[in-house]
Homo-oligomer: A and B are copies of this chain.
Amino acid sequence: MSTSRKACTIWFTGLPSSGKSTLAEMLDKKLKKGGHNVEILDGDVVRTNLSKGLGFSKEDRDINIRRIGFVCHLLTRNGVFAISAAISPYRNIRDELREQIGDFVEVFVNCPVEECIRRDVKGLYKKALAGEIPEFTGVSDPYEEPLNPEVVIESDKEEPEDSLNKILNKLAELGYVSKNGFTTGDDAYTQEEEEKVKKRLSDLGYI
């Protein structure tokens, strides 16, 4: 009976400072501009509102990620794009959420740890390398790369805009949005209109 559009959970995963939050925010803006409902569940927001008191042991990390997944699932099944930008270092929990949520698009933000250390957005690598943070992903704690993510971003080689387009193209390919992040709902272009637009852009030499 609901009139919601189909949405999905977009699950960013990658090392600290790999660029997850930056891309998540760009995607959030783009999707909202396209008329979609979107929520970002960033690591810090979640640690404050859902997981205060949890630490960084494997067990606590798993609980944290499952909680984010639970909320993403509630949002996604109601037509809201849920974007997670938590590190989520363990493969089995990400796969568990994929199974649970169904509409799940995993975006692996791949970036060599050396480059992440150079960026060190929050100054945490410095502390971790000085031995001040005992369980820091990429330094003193493991990170398990996804085996079959829907999108791989090489954030040390690509421009953020190009990475964003990769994600949007995948979302379009999977039928969650039309090209350029715009809705696939009633107010989107029909296939015929899309063709007309493409032809016009082609005639004008843009594509």
Contact = CB atoms under 8 A, between A and B. Distances in A.
B3 A39 contact: no
Interface in A185-205: 185, 187
A131 to B, nearest CB: 29
A35 interface: yes
Contacts of A3: 35, 185, 187
A49 interface: yes
A183 to B, nearest CB: 8
A169 interface: no
Interface stretch (A72-80, A110-118, A154-162): A72-80
A157 B33 CA distance: 50
Interface in A3-55: 3-4, 32-37, 39, 49-50, 52-53
A58 interface: no
A187 B3 CA distance: 10
A2 interface: yes
Contact of A67 (B1, B50, B79): B50
B80 A35 contact: no
A37 B79 contact: yes
20 contacts: A1-B32, A1-B34, A1-B35, A2-B36, A3-B35, A3-B185, A3-B187, A37-B78, A37-B79, A39-B78, A49-B67, A49-B70, A50-B50, A50-B70, A74-B75, A75-B75, A75-B80, A78-B78, A78-B79, A78-B80
